Structure 1
Amino acid sequence: MDEEHLHDDLHVFEDRNFFQLKLRSFFTVYLLLALSFLLNIILFAVSLSRVSTVSSKLNEVRPEEKQNFSGRDSLLFPCGPGSREWEYFDGKCYYFSLTRTSWHKAKAQCEEMRSQLAIINSYAKQNFVMFRTRNERFWIGLTDENSEGEWEWIDGTDYKTTFTFWKEGEPNNSGSNEDCAHIWISGEWNDVYCTYECYYVCEKPLPD
């Protein structure tokens, strides 16, 4: 074998070694990428499992927290933590509106809040409402629309045998269309036409 042939053989050998080294390098890189991908999947699965476990534990704790919060809050907000605009008095909750409207719209708005226009059937409740209305006019749940002169509480409370607090000379049905009652400036009751716009008082029982 002459020197030229030996040189060619060495060159071929070197090329093969270089090619093999390249293959090994690519193989190593792909193997590392595959292992990295597999490791990421494992870490994701472990993280997901931990999140699921923590979420499950939180769901177990939350009902107890809600119960404790409800018990704590009931002393400050007996009408419910979500009904802080309602005021408690003598076993019931009362809402004093901030806007004026007609009697029928006031009645509907109370019903939308699962309540009714206030029924004032005792002197104690009259004092509570009278003090809270602060010399403004507020609708109550009293009307004689069905039969003139036959006043009725909207919840069926017997009007004839319960407390009343009419202003002197009222109800007088002035103009022959005063069919709805409201609390006047002095806290006494007055009959007025039902389309008159004033504030209103809603009442509802305590939440279960």
Structure 2
Amino acid sequence: MNLLLLGLIFGAGVTMTTAEDGTKAKRVSRALCNPGTWCPFGGRTYIFISVPRPWAFAQLQCQSLGGSLAVIQNRETNDFLRSLSSRMDSWVGFSDAQLDGVWLWINSERIRFTNWCRAEPNNYGGKQDCAVINYNGENCWDDSDCTTPRPYVCERK
């Protein structure tokens, strides 16, 4: 009842979904998340930063906010971050900069989910060591040159 009341007050819809691992997760519409503010989802909070930065500077900025670049462990989180970032190409905390072809999350969590675009990752045109969500507005990921300034998503627990 309280959750429904909050949804009505903020103009947001809240529904229960079943995650791939069988657990229940709340799906909160983007309307509840004001630009530039932390937004709760799946036990973590996220913020979309629209000011483009290279991947390493984005990670430093996330750390200064008490978090790190976002980690995506399931389809629900991927879809939520896609909405939160207004479907803009955005950095997340996935990289193979330490060893080409060995992708790691910034927080060392085990890889449970990926959403690469067809034929990705591919290092097209040179060294591409950092993951971008929403590539060209699509619901898939691309590997990209880490020095390219892009918007990004931070998370904190």
TM-score by length of 1: 0.56
Partner SS, residue 142 of structure 1: strand
> Aligned pair count?
122
Structure 1 runs, 4 residues or longer, greater than 4 Å off: none
CA-CA distance at 1:174 after TM superposition: 1.1
2:107 to 126, 150, 155: 155
Q: Letter of the aligned partner of 1:191 in structure 2?
A: D
Instruction: State yes or no: 1:173 paired with 2:123.
Output: yes
Matched with 2:96 is: 144
% identity of equivalent residues: 33
Distance in 2 (alpha carbons) for counterparts of 1:127 and 1:136: 13
Letter in 1 for 2:153: V
- Residue 148 of structure 2: aligned partner: 196
Aligned counterparts, 1:44-193, within 5 A: 85-159=37-111, 162-183=112-133, 184=135, 185-193=137-145
CA distance in 2: counterparts of 1:134 and 1:186, whole angstroms: 11
Amino acid of the residue matched to residue 124 of structure 2? S
Distance in 2, matches of 1:150 and 1:171, equals: 11
**Deviation sequence 1:55-109 (CA, Å, 0-9, x none):** xxxxxxxxxxxxxxxxxxxxx8xxxxxxx71111111110100201100000000
> 2:14 maps to what in 1?
none
AA aligned to 2:73 is: N
Q: Distance in 2 between matches of 1:124 and 1:200?
A: 18
Paired amino acid for 1:116: S
Q: What are the ranges of 5 or more consecutive residues in structure 1 without an aligned counterpart?
A: 1-75, 77-83
Aligned Cα root-mean-square deviation (Å): 1.6
One-letter code aligned to 2:101: G
How far residue 130 of structure 1 moved from its aligned partner, in angstroms, is 1.3
Give the structure with higher Rg (CA).
1
**Could you give the per-residue CA deviations for residues 28-74 of structure 1, whole angstroms, max 9, x where no partner exists?**
xxxxxxxxxxxxxxxxxxxxxxxxxxxxxxxxxxxxxxxxxxxxxxx
